[in-house]
Structure 1
Amino acid sequence: MPIITSNFSPTLPFKNSHFNTMYRPLFMKDVCNYKRKRITTWDKDFIDLDFSFVGSKTLVLLIHGLEGSSESKYIASNSNYLNKKGLDTVCFNLRSCSGEDNLLLSTYHSGKTEDVDFVVNYLLDNYNYDSVLIVGFSLGGNLTLKYLGEYQQTLSEKIKGGVAVSVPIDIASAEIEMEKLKNKLYIEMFFKTMKNKILEKAYKFPEYKLDKEQVFKATKFKHLEHLYTVPVFGFKSPEDYWRKASSKPYLAKIDRPTLLINAKDDTFLSAECYPRKEAIQSNYFYLEIPDYGGHCGFMSSFKPQDNNWLEERITRFMEENIQIEIS
């Protein structure tokens, strides 16, 4: 599809990428009253799903980013907005992210679409919805895009399409970008919880021979991938993981309307994360590149009533491109 011209135009302080990225988690007060459903997985683990019902025949599955949850501000705000527009929502808390550690040594990673498929099929089998849409943010956006392409031949007709926001679709180059000085604070924030989780897993599973000293010394995602993601999930190397987990190779296989919104000033993203060629050559994959927005930010001003551009954009795509009835 043609690349979409974006109309996102924030006020001056929000044109700073870091300001826009940090404003939502630090100052927005979005909360959502969920009803939690814990489901048992095929591998004897559990996944927590947080629902917000308004009596719709359409369900929007929300997938958070790295170390996020249903409590993440961008998840809560989108859930509330979609509810106001007459749509039910459910947040898929990735394993270990719901506030309680999961039961297995393995948790989640950027390409673990078998969990997405399990959740989607659970929803289709146990709830009577006419339409299901998937909306993912950052790592959750990578899962969304990869899933829609990778499982394209077996997807139910009820899966109508999706939206992905602030997505590192090419993990190898995005990690190089994340290692730059401009992202040092974000890395430290991610690592605070990631390292603690890995150390806790090592305590619970002593057969997992973890070099704890190397965990403390880790300064790059690649270091933690070498210590945890690669051995636990069976990859050959971090490079093998990047290649297999990235959603970019699957974009051409997407066969239902799907939108990717990646801000031009997102400091997490490399040039390879703006798939213009893939969008132009596809009949279903749309790409929008706002000049501003940061990473999962897209805040417009200090006035709360002005800060729903992202939520409105997602619902407008559903209405105009997927023909979902919005109230």
Structure 2
Amino acid sequence: MLGIISLQGLTRDLSLYLENQVRVGLFGSGVGLSLVLGFGAAYACYYLSVIAKKPQLVIGGEAFCCFLKQHCPALTETYYPTLWCWEGRVQTLLRPFITVKPLVHYNNELIKTADGGQISLDWFNNDGNAIYPDASVRPTILLLPGLTGTSRESYILHMVTHSEGLGYRCVVFNNRGVAGEDLLTPRTYCAANTEDLETVIQHVHNMYPDAPLMAAGVSMGGHRAILEKQFDIANIMKAKSIREFDRRFTSVMFGYPTIDHYYKDASPCHRVKSIEIPVLCLNAVDDVFSPGHAIPVECAKQNPNVALVLTSYGGHIGFLEGIWPRQQTYMDRVFKQFVQAIFEHGNEIYNM
């Protein structure tokens, strides 16, 4: 594995460097060298035995399981988090600063909603690719950014770049009021409401009815003036936690009697059993926003269309791997392998 090779190479280079420093008198004796080598060996043993692990694969159906093991090798390989920042909170904080932002050129489209609002879509059509030259049948991936995220997030840009190499088309769904677009109605979005998403899916399907379509969402995937007409924004902004913000704003906006009603409606554990198409969910157990104890593992085991991939480390949308993880994360590899598997071999799931 690449992670093992990198770790062994790092250990070897460190040993050679330290031996050279001893020769020039940096340590003055073998005591310093022994301490450094001892610490390095102990850390390497801890990393390989505790940190680097294969992800837990939870699947309710044997056919889907065989399909993933055959076409998505990343799901059965050991995940090697970045050696120097494997902890969840560190991965979460550093990912936006470490990973590069590929250059992507979009074509923007604004579509209207039934209540008078508008949704901004950013298209990457991938015209001119040799794999799917006919745009009418070119596979399309609908990308859903996380909370307050847009088409310019690094993880979205990486998804688009990987899709480009496979010949696919991408369209990014920017939620109301983000990506620099005006909020035309006093309504944004929440985790339980799917009306805008349904509008976007229907719009994309109508544009390319013969093209296969799949969606990839990250995390949960405003402008103040229009909201001040109906909400006490000053009071809302005094919220000290996400729960308090949802109690003062989100649950009120969408008509929930209490915040508990909103959270119950938004909780995936009540919807997993109803999923009827193959869905792959990647989550780190040390995710600070979606921790391991909140993942509906038992519900997933009862649905043959749902697969949960749970890594021990990775944080929230982190999944950094390698010594200097600028170009690709573990999430990127899983995304690329899964979308290619579905578009090119999806029928195998039903034939198994």
Which bracket does the TM-score occupy, shorter chain normalised? 0.7 to 0.9
Question: 1:81 aligned to 2:152?
Answer: no
Give the structure 2 partner of residue 286 of structure 1. Answer: 307
Give the structure 2 partner of residue 137 of structure 1. Answer: 218
The sequence identity of aligned pairs, in percent, is: 26
Question: 1:60 aligned to 2:141?
Answer: yes
| Secondary structure of 2:203 counterpart | helix
Q: Deviations over 1:16-47 (max 9, x none)?
A: 21221122212323142111111111111110
Give the structure 2 partner of residue 200 of structure 1. Answer: 225
Q: CA deviation at 1:209?
A: 4.5
Letter in 2 for 1:210: D
Shift in alpha-carbon separation, 1:269–1:68, aligned structure 2, 3 A: same
Give the structure 1 partner of residue 192 of structure 2. Answer: 111
Q: CA deviation at 1:74?
A: 0.8
Deviates more, 1:68-77 or 1:298-307: 298-307
Question: 1:37 aligned to 2:109?
Answer: yes
Give the structure 2 partner of residue 187 of structure 1. Answer: none
Using the alignment, how far apart are the partners of 1:202 and 1:48 within structure 2? 19
| Secondary structure of 1:217 counterpart | coil
Instruction: Give the unaligned 5+ runs of structure 1.
Output: 141-196
Using the alignment, how far apart are the partners of 1:7 and 1:59 within structure 2? 30
**Matches for 1:298-313 after TM superposition, within 5 Å:** 298-304=319-325, 307-313=328-334
Q: What is the CA RMSD across the aligned residues, in angstroms?
A: 2.2
Q: Deviations over 1:217-260 (max 9, x none)?
A: 21012222232222221111111111112222111111111101
- Is the 8 Å Cα contact of residues 177 and 223 (structure 2) preserved in structure 1? no
Instruction: Give the unaligned 5+ runs of structure 2.
Output: 1-58, 66-74, 133-137, 347-352
Q: CA deviation at 1:129?
A: 4.2
Question: Which one has a bigger Cα radius of gyration?
Answer: 2
Using the alignment, how far apart are the partners of 2:162 and 2:87 within structure 1? 25
Shift in alpha-carbon separation, 1:94–1:211, aligned structure 2, 3 A: closer
The alignment's TM-score, normalised by the length of structure 1, stands at 0.74
Shift in alpha-carbon separation, 1:209–1:130, aligned structure 2, 3 A: closer
Letter in 2 for 1:293: G
Q: How many residues align?
A: 265
Using the alignment, how far apart are the partners of 2:95 and 2:326 within structure 1? 13
**Matches for 1:156-167 after TM superposition, within 5 Å:** none
